[in-house]
């Protein structure tokens, strides 16, 4: 298996994989009916973002992919964010782990100090197990809300010893108190 940078031409291989994963609606917040061109614009981002592709010869041109990018611009650009997709018919064969390891190494190589995933769906057992095994810690959990089918987790990991980041979130909830402008903020649980 080869993991290499994805080019614009590779979208024809990546699109069926991307569509299958996103249409399932259980791992990403992209709209499940995102059209091909719009999806390309979401995944094949301009630098400093990088899309990578795992292939196994011409018969299996897109086993998986990852997107590596700054989680925030400017002073927050030292923390990376990444998204991963393995073709449904190739999941559970170790490709996600190889992509994860490759992505962490690549992030270090190009100077990121940490990596944060903003919303890993709590029911996504393979993803949570994989990220934990690669050293990610869960730093918070978004409460389940009516109409939302699962919780989402936020995770973060240091790529480099000595670098730390903290993700903080606050949500309305029982015991909330009014804030300026009439917005209600939850109290720490």
Ligand X SMILES: CC(C)(COP(=O)(O)OP(=O)(O)OC[C@H]1O[C@@H](n2cnc3c(N)ncnc32)[C@H](O)[C@@H]1OP(=O)(O)O)[C@@H](O)C(=O)NCCC(=O)NCCS
Residues 158, 166 contacting (CB under 8 angstroms):
no
Which positions from 118 to 147 touch ligand X by CB under 6 A, shown as an x/- string? --x---xxxx-xx--x--------------
Q: Which of 182, 183, 157, 186 is nearest to 169 (CA)?
A: 186
Smallest separation, CB 2 to ligand X (Å) = 16
Helix intervals (H) in the chain: 11-24, 36-43, 95-109, 125-133
First-to-final CA distance of the chain: 46
Under the binding rule (CB under 6 A), the answer on residue 51 touching ligand X is no
84-123 footprint of ligand X as x/- string (CB under 6 A): xxx----xxxxxxx-------------------x--x---
In the bound complex, what is the minimum distance in angstroms from residue 175's beta carbon to ligand X? Answer: 31
Query: Can you list the positions of beta strands (E) in 33-126?
Result: 50-55, 64-70, 79-86, 114-121
- The one segment of 31-39, 81-89, 103-111, 140-148 that binds ligand X by CB under 6 A: 81-89
The footprint of ligand X (CB under 6 A) covers 21, 27, 84-86, 91-97, 117, 120, 124-127, 129-130, 133
């Amino acid at each position: 298996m080869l993991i290499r940078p994805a080019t614009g031409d590779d979208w024809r291989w990546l699109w069926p994989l991307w569509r299958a994963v996103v249409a399932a609606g259980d791992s990403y917040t992209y709209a499940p009916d995102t059209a091909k061109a719009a999806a390309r614009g979401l995944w094949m981002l301009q630098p400093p973002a990088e899309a990578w592709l795992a292939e196994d010869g011409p018969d299996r041109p897109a086993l998986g992919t990852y997107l590596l990018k700054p989680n925030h611009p400017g002073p927050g650009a030292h923390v990376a964010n990444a998204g991963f997709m393995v073709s449904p018919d190739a999941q559970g064969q170790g490709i996600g782990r190889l992509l994860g390891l490759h992505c962490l190494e690549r992030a270090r190589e190009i100077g990121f100090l940490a990596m944060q995933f903003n919303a890993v769906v709590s029911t996504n057992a393979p993803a949570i197990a994989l990220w934990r095994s690669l050293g990610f810690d869960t730093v918070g959990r978004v409460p389940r809300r009516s109409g939302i089918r699962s919780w989402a987790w936020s995770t973060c990991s240091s790529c480099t010893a000595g670098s730390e980041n903290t993700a903080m979130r606050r949500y309305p909830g029982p015991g909330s108190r009014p804030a300026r402008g009439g917005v209600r903020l939850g109290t720490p649980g």
